[in-house]
Amino acid sequence: MFGYIYKRTSHAIEVLLIVSIITFAVLQWIPGDAAQLILGAEATPEKVAALRTAMGLDRPWYIQYWDWLKGLFQLDLGRSYLFGQEVVTLIQQRLPVTMSLAAFSMILASVTAIILGSMAAIKKNTTVDYISTSLMQLGSSVPAFWLGMLFIVYFGLELKWFPVAGYVSPDHGLGPYLHSIALPSIVLAIGEVGMLLRTVRTSMLDSLSQDFMDMAKAKGLASSTMYLKYALRSAMIAPINVMGLQFAKMVGGTVVVESVFGLPGVGRLVLVAVEQRDIFLFQGLVMFITMLVILISLLVDIAVMFINPRIRIEMQGE
Amino acid sequence: MAANRRRIQERFQLIGGSVLTALVVLLCLLSFVWVPHDPNAMQLSMRFIGPGENPQFILGTDYFGRDILSRIIYGSRSILLVCVLAVTAGSVIGSLLGAIAGIVKKGPISGLIMRSIDGLMAFPGILLAMMMVAAVGKGREGAIVAISVFMIPPFARLVYSLILDSENSLFIKAARSYNISKTRLLRKHYLPLLLPRLITLFTACIGSAIMIETSLSFLGLGIQPPNASWGLMLNEARQHFLQFPYLAMAPGIAIALSVLGFNLLGDGLNDALSRRRS
């Protein structure tokens, strides 16, 4: 059991190192000099050179990389010159927005996917199956930014059910907070649910064909017990993995939706960093989000190991 | 009965996908032959004509008085160009990397390649694309590089796992026993095995490439104004779509239908292929 955890963790650290190398290398490639960008075009070469020295940009790349990497492990993501603040502080201010979005849309998407996916599997090759899979195919083909615009016009402007844009923090009451986050969460969920539904359906089909289902049927169990207690429980392992990964990736994937709904989240910050060419901010953001993705998928894998009796027993047997 | 229904669904996917894909390709070809108006010609006296209000402008005009239909037709050209080029580049690089890793199998090179692929896959989708755009610069080239990097992992993984899977099959063992060169082994024995799967993946990847390209253009990082691109049209519509929702309709439908088309075609091909194998 510890062997598995050790192996999985060291793989995560390896991937993290590679990600840091890719990020560092790609962003080194950016044309133009960070010091020049900060000071503007009219700065004298002496001033630029002085700032370069102060920022440590005149050192060889491998020393710069090493320093940056050491900082990462202490959660020092660097400093944004655009905001004049630590990247960690900037993220802290915006993370609640993005996390709320990711969490709500994941809950919505998971519930829908589990219900529709298991129904599609139980009623395989019937109209229910075709309708739910076709709807999902349609859902994952519609771009989130367009769906967001349509929802704003219809649910925000026509029906006035939801605010058109903006974010209300939970400090101002739970109701207004949920109200402001509902529409963007639904839009995100529609994009995510397709992939999840497929996973639930496939894995449910697989567990329906297992011997224990014949056993349950032979025992004369009620079909609700049979499906909920036996099939669904054993079918949830693969979808939980996918959910964890999708949740983690959503933290970086909310850029478009945050931009449509004018939400002040991490995604907006990423966009600002690219537009304003704030390399340090962008580097910090990319590393933060990717570290989160790797960490969450590691935790999910370990959690699944504990949940899944088959793996657990195999491990004890070792 | 059930198998029959499966066949019907598969056929529906294949036909629906082919029709939609063909439409996008036809639209693109049409842009070389005929467009109703110059897509970039601004006529400020003709601003905000709604769809159907003026027979000259079937889908209406935008903020600058440009004809929306012409811009949609032109947009199909830029989107297909970017996506096909990018996925081609990504699939070639990815397949080569996967093939090298699969053939060498053990050793540092294979490990390095597959770990790098894992690393690339750890980036959330749009973030990797945005990073490449930051490095290469906004615009068409940036979008092509961004999407092609994004497409490397799926191809590398597919080729790698297929090579490892079929390693123990008789025809590969036989070929190896002749001591043929590795490139010949790849070209003559693995390629016919891989090709159908690669084509399927390629089709499905065009769908996701369209999604990324339009997202980038929507964020203002892809194709730059005044060029016509569907994502950019939606971006430009943002300032006025609350008063004129029709501005967002045509480009959005165009994106959704073309993504759906390539996805359906990819799924249909995949199902047909796996049925033939089993």
8 Å CB contact of A286 and B131: yes
Query: What is the phi/psi pair of residue A79, to 5°?
Result: -125, 140
Instruction: Give the residue with greater pLDDT, A18 vs B272.
Output: A18
pLDDT (average), residues A20-32: 82
Q: Measured between CB atoms, which of A15, A27, A256 is closest to B118?
A: A15
**pLDDT value at position B86?**
97
Per-residue pLDDT, A63? 86
The pLDDT, as a whole number, for residue A244 is 84
The minimum CA-CA distance between B265 and chain A, rounded to whole Å, is 12
Interchain proximity A249–B125, CB inside 8 Å: yes
Q: Which of A19, A27, A153 sits opposite B122 (nearest CB)?
A: A19
Radius of gyration (Cα) for chain B, nearest Å? 22
d(CA B18, CA B100): 33
Residue tagged 């017990």 (tokens)? A225
Asked if pLDDT for residue A313 goes beyond 70, the answer is no
Average pLDDT, integer, range A230-243: 82
Task: Count how many domains chain B has.
Answer: 1
Q: Do the Cβ atoms of A13 and A295 come closer than 8 Å?
A: no
Residue A144, C-beta contacts closer than 8 angstroms, at least 6 positions apart: A187, A188, A190, A191, A256, A257, A260, B215
Residue at B141: amino acid letter: E
pLDDT above 80 for A32: no
Chain A residues near residue B211 by CB distance under 8 angstroms: 143
Q: Which two tokens stand for residue B73?
A: 């037709």
Q: How far apart are CA A83 and CA A52, in angstroms?
A: 19
Nearest to A120 by CA among A221, A243, A232, A233: A232
Q: What's the pLDDT tens digit per position in A246-264?
A: 888 887 778 999 999 989 9
- B125–A251: do the CB atoms touch at under 8 Å? no
Neighbours of B102 (CB within 10 A): 23
Per-residue confidence at A318, pLDDT binned at 50, 70, 90?
very low
Angle, CA of A91, A94 and A97, to the nearest 5°: 140
Across all residues in chain A, what is the average pLDDT? 84
Give B66's pLDDT tier (boundaries 50, 70, 90). confident
| pLDDT score of A41 more than 60 | yes
Question: Is the CB of B174 inside 8 Å of chain A's CB atoms?
Answer: no
For residues B174 and B81, the model is more confident at B81
Per-residue confidence band for A55, with pLDDT thresholds at 50, 70 and 90: confident
The neighbour count for residue A241, using CB atoms within 10 Å, is 17
CA B28 – CA B79 distance, rounded (Å):
9
CA distance A234 to chain B (A): 25
Distance CA B151, CA B198 (A): 12
pLDDT score for A236 = 83
State yes or no: pLDDT of B169 exceeds 60. Answer: yes
Residues 6 or more apart in contact with residue A175 via CB below 8 angstroms: none
User: For residue range B45-56, what is the model confidence (pLDDT) as tens digits?
Assistant: 777 887 877 777
Residue A209, burial from CB neighbour count under 10 angstroms (0-12, 13-18, 19+)? exposed
B interface test, pick of A135, A141, A198 with most B CB neighbours within 10 Å: A141
Q: Nearest residue of B to residue A27 by CA position?
A: B135
B201 touching chain A per CB within 8 A: no
- Number of other residues whose CB lies within 10 A of the CB of residue A218: 8
Dist CA B56 CA B36 (whole Å): 8
pLDDT at B61 over 60: yes
What residue type is A110 in one-letter code? Answer: S
- Express each pLDDT in B198-254 by its tens digit: 999 999 999 999 999 999 999 999 888 888 899 999 999 888 888 888 888 999 999
Q: Which residue in the block uniquely carries the two structure tokens 């008789």?
A: B170
Strands (E), chain A: 79-80, 85-86
For the ranges A107-111, B62-66, B135-139, the lowest mean pLDDT is seen at B62-66
Cβ-Cβ contacts under 8 Å for A19 (sequence gap 6 or more): A287, A290, A294, B119, B122, B123
Strands A85-86 and A79-80: antiparallel
Q: How many CB atoms lie within 10 A of CB B35?
A: 18
Q: Which residue type is seen at B93?
A: I
**Closest listed residue to residue A276, CA positions, set A30, A78, A99:** A30
A314 has a pLDDT exceeding 70: no
Polymer length of chain B? 278
Residue B275 has pLDDT above 80, yes or no: no
Q: Which residues, listed in sequence order, are joined to residue A86 by a DSSP beta bridge? A: A79
Nearest to B78 by CA among B86, B90, B89: B86
Q: Is the pLDDT of residue B92 over 60?
A: yes
Q: What is the CATH number of the domain that holds B85?
A: 1.10.3720.10
Largest CA distance in chain B: 76
User: Going by CATH, does the domain composed of A98-266 fall within 3.40.50.1820?
Assistant: no
- Crossing angle of helices B191-218 and B230-237, in 10° steps, is 20
Q: Is the confidence at residue B1, as pLDDT, over 60? A: no
Q: Which amino acid is at A213?
A: M
What pLDDT was estimated at residue B91?
Answer: 96
| Chain B (44-83) residues lying within 8 Å, Cβ to Cβ, of chain A | none
Tell the residue number behind the tokens 């292929």, with chain if given.
B273
- Measured in angstroms, the CA of B189 and the nearest CA of chain A are apart by 32
Write down the pLDDT at residue B278: 64
- Phi-psi region for residue A277, left (φ > 0), alpha (ψ -120 to 50) or beta? left
Q: What is the pLDDT of residues B8-33, one digit of tens each?
A: 777 888 999 999 999 999 999 998 88
Q: In whole numbers, what is the pLDDT of chain B averaged over residues? A: 87
Whole-angstrom distance, CA of residue A181 vs CA of residue A176: 9
Look up the ipTM and state it. 0.87
Domain of residue B73, residue span? 2-41+48-277
DSSP state of B82: H
